[in-house]
Structure 1
């Protein structure tokens, strides 16, 4: 499932099926997401503006 989230440069589309976890950065208004690609074992860390609660709400709406 793809979600349209936002980083400092604008919209970013994240495949949430590959997200292993996400959490709010303490003291800041950013959420860190970690995604894992099983086909090649790569891992990517993203920082987005949406809160974990907003992300969970988006997931439940899909």
Structure 2
């Protein structure tokens, strides 16, 4: 558990992120390969967006 100084720092960081813009480097996170017949269903269950889209539609979105 963080001490008072750590907690105060965390509160300041959260408030700064809410007021401004923050960039979080998540490149160190582990990546998994999900493959097979049930891969799309599993990814749709754990992801915020619908991953069952045509690959071509991804490259033309917001163009």
On whether the aligned pair clears a TM of 0.5, the verdict is no
- Point out the structure with the larger helix share: 2
- Point out the structure with the larger strand share: 1
User: TM-score, normalised on structure 2?
Assistant: 0.20
